[in-house]
Every structure is written in C-alpha cells, then in structure tokens.
Structure 1
Amino acid sequence: MTALSAADPIDLGAMLSDDEKAITESVRSFVKSAVLDEIAEWFEEARFPARELAKPLGEIGLLGMHLEGYGCAATSATAYGLACLELEAGDSGLRSFVSVQGSLAMFPIRAYGSEEQREQWLPGMAAGELIGCFGLTEPDSGSDPASMRTAARRDGADWILNGTKTWITNGSIADVAVVWARTDEGIRGFVVPSGTAGFEQREIHHKMSLRASSTGELVFDDVRLPAEAVLPGVVGIRGPLSCLNEARFGILFGALGAGRASFEAALAYAGDRTQFGKPIAGFQLTQHKFADMAVRMSQGLTLALHLGRLKDSGGLKPDQISIGKLANVRTAIEICRTARTILGANGISLEYPVIRHMTNLESVLTYEGTEEVHALIIGKGLTGLAAFA
C-alpha cells in the first residue's frame, strides 16, 4: 500500500466542498469514458471532434459553467478551475475548447453584450449547439494586442470590418466569433456569425503541438455588420484583456492536469518496468524524481486552490493570475519532462500520454500571455513601474 496519492500528495481534496468534489469526479469520469481511449489517435491524426463532444460537454454543464443565467451552470470559480484540471488531464486541446467557449467567447457576450445578444447566443453555446471563438491575435500582433490592425469603421448605421486574426482556437469551426477591432472610438468587440459575407474561416495545419485542437485563421474582407453586432458594454483594451484573465485562470488549474497525468503514467510505468532485477521505481534516483514531481504538484495545487478561493471572494487581482499561470505552466512542463525521462524511449510514444502533454504545454506556455509577458505583469505589480508600453 502506498501512503501518498500522485493526484493529490498532500490531500488538498479535503478542502473541497461536496459540490466541487462532485464536479471533479463528474469531469474525470467524462474524460475517461469519452476521451482517453481516443485522444492519442486524434492527436496523431491532427483532428478534434468538436461537434461530437460539444453537446455532451454542454449536457454535463461545462460550457460557460462559471457564468450565470442563459443555461449556464453558475458554479464557483474554483469548481471551474478544477474542471479545467480534469479536462487537461485528458488533453490540453480539450481544455482549450471548453476554455475558449466559456471564458473567451461566452464571457464577453455575458459581460458586455446586449440582452438581445445574450439571448441569441448564450443558450445555444451553453448547450453545445453553437461553437464560439475569440478573435484577438493577429499575424503581427500577439503580445501587444493594442497594436492590432483589424479595424472597423462606421458606414451609416452599419460597421465595415477588415483584417485578419490568426492562431484562433475553434476558429475554423466556430458558428460565431467575438472579434476585437480598432475603431475611431477605441477598441470594440463585434459578434460575427459564420457565413457572413466577406468572413472566411481557414484551418491552420502542420502543428506539432495542440494537434487535437481546431486552430484557425479568420479573414474579414469588407464584412458588413449591423449596429447590433457591436458589444455595447465596453470600449478599449480592457475588454479583451478581461477575457484573457478569465482564460488564464482556467489555465493555471488546467496545466496541472497535464502534469498530473504524466506523473501518474510515469509512476505506473516505473512500478512495472524491471531493470537489474527490480522495478525501476525502487531506485534512488527514480524516487528522487518522483519526490520532486510530488512536491511541485503539491505546490501548484496549493497555489491554484488559493487563487480560486480569492476569485470566489472577489479579491483576485490580474497580477496574481499571472503568478499562477507563469508558475503552474512552468511546473507542469517540468513534471512532464521528468516523467519522460523515467519512461525512456517509451516516453516519446503516443502509447503513453507524456510526450503529448509535453508538446501541448509548449503552446500553453505561450498562449494567453507568454512567460515574458506574465513576468513583466508581475514585475509591474511589485514595482509600480511598467517595463513595456
């Protein structure tokens, strides 16, 4: 009998409410039954069955789960984070799908949209009948979103939208895009349905990370939108940045799921793999690796749970989200890399989840703010001085 759980070495689960425990188990069960047997094949074939998974995800209340009304589950922020952890234990692409749907597409409509926009889009998105995406990143504008070139101008009562967005999760398959563009009034958000004249959605291929995820490019060529398409509740860069903070919060939990899955795979493998007459789990250097992974996992889980409680109390600052995102993605990558060494050559095989999680996390490290960007956000929070414009 082992004394410690790889999933939760210091029993932080004892600090969860009954609802949080139930949500965790529900999502873990879904991932096990609907994803784990297929995910290696999806990754190898570079495909993600979004349409097949969206409705089941909606049925168990995961899409926009931390939002209120319009068919959303209105769970706690901590429960949302725990769900992200379990989803990413399946694959980062799965968590990304749910995160983009809820935190980047549904959240701005809920927070800044008109009542008509909310009624039109949110119930279908919560049910998984409609898929959304978030158009912010551009070919020449990543870490500096304020330099975006996509622009919208008024033409009578309408808006004319032009520009390109790239590296957009769900972009090639979305039924609706929340797109951020420059206007004479400042940066505004627009709700753009697929099929709108002049709006083209293209799949991005040849990825070596997040292969089980739909990634696209959005092209807008004189797209005419009615006045009702603009999000009326926000003007300026704080609109898209607030959405990014919602997504980053999910990531600081989610990345640990990838780390945990790799840790558990390495632990099981080391117990079965025999060298020099005994399981490699019995060697000192291997146990040192496991001890290090357990400590890192415990620290990451403690940080995530603390930030979740802060968010639920209304006291979480954007700078603190950056601490969580920076620390826990870094932690998860190190756990995956250490787990890979324990599996040896088998560590690069898709028969095991480790290399898949490891390569996925290289994208998670970059999106929703690179390490450098989060370090500078934290630095500004500590010093009061901005190291970037």
Structure 2
Amino acid sequence: MLLVNRPLLPAAERLLPYHKHIDSARFYSNYGPLNDLLQQRLATHFGRRGDQLALANSGTSALYALLLAAAGPARAEKPVCVCPAFTFAATAAAAELCGYTPFLADIDAETWALDHERVMALGDLERVGAVITVAPFGRPPLFEAWQDFTRTTGIPLIIDAAASFDVLGEAAADHGDLPIAVSLHATKTFSTAEGGLMFCDDPAVVKRAVAALNFGFNDAREALGPGLNGKLSEYHCALGLAELDGWPDKRLGFLQVAGYYEASAEIAGLSDRIYVGREHANPYALFRAQSEDQAQEIVAALRRERIESRLWWGRGLHHQQHFRDCTAEPLPVTDDLAPRLLGLPFAVDLAPEDVERVIRTIDRVVQCK
C-alpha cells in the first residue's frame, strides 16, 4: 500500500550521541540541557533570539499556550474565538481549552485561509476575544494583513502554522510580533516525533506561554494562571537535534519529491490542480478535483491501485460531531473546497515511479469526464 504519509525520522545511530548525553546528565524532562540546546540551535536557524521561541510537547499545546499568553483565558464579555471552519480539529480544540467558544468562519477561495477583511466585518466583533488564523498545508500566511488587523481591532491574533516549519523565513521575522505555533509531529517535514514550537518577538509572550505549559508556574513554582504539563522530554529533544543535523538534506528530499509531482502533473496536463511545496518544503501533495463526485471516483481508483488518499481536514469542522453546534457564518467556500481537496502520498523518499503511478491513476479518471 502506498501510504498518504510515511514519516522518516533519524535512525538509532544518529540518536545515540544525544541519548548518551541524557544518560550522563540524568536529566529527562523539565527543560533539560538538550531542550536548551535545541532551542538555541532553532533560534540560530530562524535568526531569532533564544527568548523569542520555545518548545512544547505538541503543536496543540503550543497553540493553547500562545493563545493564553497573547489573549488570556476567555472572559464573560469576550467569550468568542474566531477560527476557520476549514482546519484540523486541534485549532478549535485549543480555543476550547482556553475557555473560548469557537466561531467558525469561512475561508478565502484563493488562499484557503481566513480573510482579514471578512473577519473585520463580522457582527458582534466586540465579543471576540481572539482570532486564530491558519496557514493551510504550509501555505505562508498574509503576515502584514493580519498585523494590520490586530493593530486596528485590538483583538489578539495567533497564527496556527502547524505545517509551516520551512515557511517561517524573512516574512515571519519581519512581522514577528504575531505569535506563531508550529507542529513538530511525525507527519511534518521537521519533527521531534511529537512536539511543537512557539514564536513571538515579544519575550514576555513567550515567557507566559512557557509558564502555561508548566502548570502556570512562575520561577518560585507558584501557579499564577491556568496551565498544564506541555513540556518536551529530553528524548524528543534528542530526536529534534538529530533532525536538525540532517535538515538540509531532508529539506532537499522534500523539494525533490515536490518536483516529481510537478513534472508528472505537467505531462498529464494537471499542473493547475496539483499543489506541492515549490519553494518551501511541506509534507503535502494535494489534488483539487472538479467536484465532490470526481473526488470520490479518484479515491476509489487510487484504492484499487493500493494507493491511499485522504481528505486531510474532512469536510470542515462544522461536519464533525463535537463542533457541529458551534456558531458559524455561511460556509460556501469551505463546503465547496473541503470535499474535493485530496491529500496524495508524500514522503521524503517517495520514488518518482510511485509519483507517476499516482498521477497516472488520477489522470485516467479525469480523462473519462
């Protein structure tokens, strides 16, 4: 079976030096030396100071902590957090963990993300305590537009950039006052198997986020606010350090596979419907079918060839049982896009002949129409 996602993390021999360091230090969690080293190296990688980023034990924890740090828990007069309906469940779940009621907004047809002007025009904006905008499938967010939004409205904004490890370059640095949460899950390009990363130019925001992931403790181990245990273990940090050692080669591998998809799609005349990372490594290859019916035909054809595919975010949060009762605006773009945007197999070592087989199978369905 050709899987839709097949992670490849550092082998045991690359982890061994870091595991020996753990054995020697006898420090296994609670912000140990490998946690500090990984944060320092990531700060250098992104051109940030060490106090402008921090690690978490998951992308959801990172989002939760930054939401608490930037907006605080929900208040009676501001109980709402605006989220896109087209996102992974973790986005709205993080808002709920902070006490907010998610309001599900529609996305822009071109960016697949929230539109800042549309959010600005929502009714009852005075009841909105926070906005979470998503960088869908690693697509760079519109940093400047959202920076203008939060300055104009005073509403705290958090960017859920779960799949955007490789996107956070100069544009993010230029607008670094926007808190950004990244996932380091095994399915992402850069991974600690399970983990998260938090960015913000304001060290005070990062410090509050770190406290939220340590039971709300201050330096005196007194809980000053809400929190939970969201710390990253030294073993996960060891994996992250080994990943960083090999990151240039791994990044090149993802871009190479993206190139395979681009080349095969061009031959089949499907270039305008295949989405892969052209400049930024990301863990997705996506195909936009013409209709939901065509999408289902493609899924069936791929399955017959033992090729897995996936609607990564289902049909939208409003179709998931837990979020079905959330207040939402009309969602025509989400309802149109979500059921026809198929996730295709993608891995750092995916062979060109496998990519050709995927595209060939899709093309057979498309040509029948």
TM interval, shorter chain, is under 0.3
User: Relative contact order (alpha carbons < 8 A, sep ≥ 6): 1 or 2 greater?
Assistant: 2
- TM-score, with normalisation over the residues of structure 2? 0.24
- TM-score, with normalisation over the residues of structure 1? 0.23
Structure with more helix by fraction: 1
